[in-house]
Structure 1
């Protein structure tokens, strides 16, 4: 008896390798992918402006990274006892304006150079809704920073608007970094505060726009994260308590498909070895003073050193330091 719908995922001819730098940008689901790849020691940089949801904010951020355009003090505004930027997530906000500015510009500078050398860009779009700041000629904002709702106009981007803004940025990206390949995904996180019907309209527009672009460019690919959760799993037991965010089982299911479809099979054994060392670093022994646990630490200390020696592009400094300190 069959309990799940099959899904056909088209893999690129050349898949992601460990030596490929990956730049990730977009919604919170971007960070599920990025955090997992980062924990497996891939070279990643994600969301240099913080979490972004709509295609306009994603495009504006990528443009800023390519231009290496500095943020100046007048761009910041005070709200709720903090200095904030309309182009950045609240994680950049703070009470010291100079520190906020320094943090923003440091991340932009790092992102500029990383994007230039990246081999893959993963873009995860979350919503077609874009918020426009009314008093500043309806400029798009990346984050509302809990400002009063009347400051903004909520705009549902059309398919044509989404295609146009992303198309322009894609052309710039391929000039900026001719070796770049791009994977689009649509986040399976449900934006229920918009309403169920409105969320579905929003996602549908993103999916249609992305597929238009994927068929236009030969270096663009689509990973169906949205379809894997909505159409394959299709069950609220795969959602968190808010009924909006996929839970651990769902995200693991999606990430397994990403691995199998987009990461070179030649690197899968190395990924498994790295995962063993990472898991050992997180292990908490019931009896840490036993010789058995010390042997466990020695085993994985040696394994981390061997992997580091054989694969110099991996960084096991944190794990090695932990094992050695625990053995003292």
Structure 2
């Protein structure tokens, strides 16, 4: 795949006053029989959920949404070790029990329940750790928060008072050093490991326009250095596709910070063409009609025509299951059986 700096040099200018990012096939290839782990910002949720919907074996954000590279790396280390969260690591705030490494969706009014949810997520990934050979990491911001009392970077502040934390910007050199050490060691245990890093196009407007751009610049340069120094680490240009290729507020939500569904579709299409293996693309084309049929919501389900439609889909599913036994279409099968 083209290096980051080359994106800014090899563009085409057209009469409609738009610069289009040239397509490039990625060395990072996905197929349905791999075990994939995706961590990162809310933009990673969009792409990761689509991979799950397309029946890839992907685990998405087992700690919830993460934003800065240090917290993402800390989560990877916890998953590798499989160390359970202890009761003393939780804290109560605004009637909920929280953990600094987990997103608030894991928080709960009952401490044992919160602990159970967090440890179940760690255990599930750690149990499959040896099989994971694809990592998709999406960095959102270079700004991080250090808890002053515990002197450690947190993944989520959980609305604690601002004076509880020190806000600072991670240094690119530190990101490269820590990731190089971890990923190089991981590669020795997983010879087939491939890593894809992207920078989220979500704009962190609370940082201010200038600081947001500086933050993204740190991430972009760190990603480039890693992809240059480690041949199994690759860069995906999600940031450039939205900020440079689309480059228009029409492609943002009302908050002017998050890309809208049209922009996500555009990035997804590029990702699919760049990162799906030929086998994955062929399988995706085969299962797509069944997936679209399962999303269809008919007005009348008590007709012979609809029953015939369901029978036809079940026949297609049976054929696909026989040909691709590693594809899980049980949800779709149950949908048409209930129809």
Matched-pair contact (CA < 8 Å) for 2:197–2:233: yes
Alignment TM-score, normalising by the size of structure 2: 0.92
TM-score with structure 1 setting the length: 0.95
Where does residue 314 of structure 1 map in the other structure? 327
Task: Decide which of 18, 27, 32 is 2:41's aligned counterpart.
Answer: 27
Structure 1 residue aligned with 2:11: none
* Equivalence for 1:75: 89
The residue number in structure 2 matching 1:279 is 292
Asked whether the 8 Å contact 2:28–2:194 carries over to 1, the reply is no
Report how many aligned residue pairs link the two structures.
325
The Cα shift of 1:2 comes to 4.5
Counterparts of 1:286 and 1:3, CA distance in 2:
44
Q: Which runs of 5+ in 1 are unaligned?
A: none
Distance in 2 of aligned mates of 1:75 and 1:11: 44
For residues 146 and 55 of structure 1, what CA distance do their matches in structure 2 show? 21
Other-structure match for 1:154: 167
- Quote the offset at 1:293 in angstroms: 2.0
1:186·1:207 contact (CA, 8 Å) conserved in 2? yes
On the 8 A contact 1:159/1:209 being kept in 2, the answer is yes
CA deviations 1:168-204 (Å, max 9, x no partner) are 2212322342321000100011111111111111001
CA apart distance, 1:146: 1.1
Q: CA deviation at 1:287?
A: 2.2
Unaligned runs of 5+ in 2: 1-14
Selected match of 1:202 from 198, 211, 215: 215
CA distance in 1, matches of 2:334, 2:301: 17
Paired with 2:29 and 2:69, the residues of 1 have a C-alpha distance of: 25
Contact 1:23 1:114 in 2 (8 A): no
Q: Tell me if the contact between 2:30 and 2:276 (Cα under 8 Å) persists in the aligned partners.
A: yes
Q: Is the 8 A contact 1:57 1:141 kept in 2?
A: yes
Q: Tell me: CA distance 1:133–1:9, structure 2 relative to 1, closer, same or farther (3 Å).
A: farther
Whether contact under 8 Å (2:100, 2:157) holds in the other structure is: yes
Distance 1:187 1:209, change over 3 A: same
Find the aligned partners of 1:2 and 1:263 in 2 and give their Cα distance: 30
Aligned pairs for 1:1-328 (under 5 A) are: 1-13=15-27, 15-137=29-151, 139-326=152-339
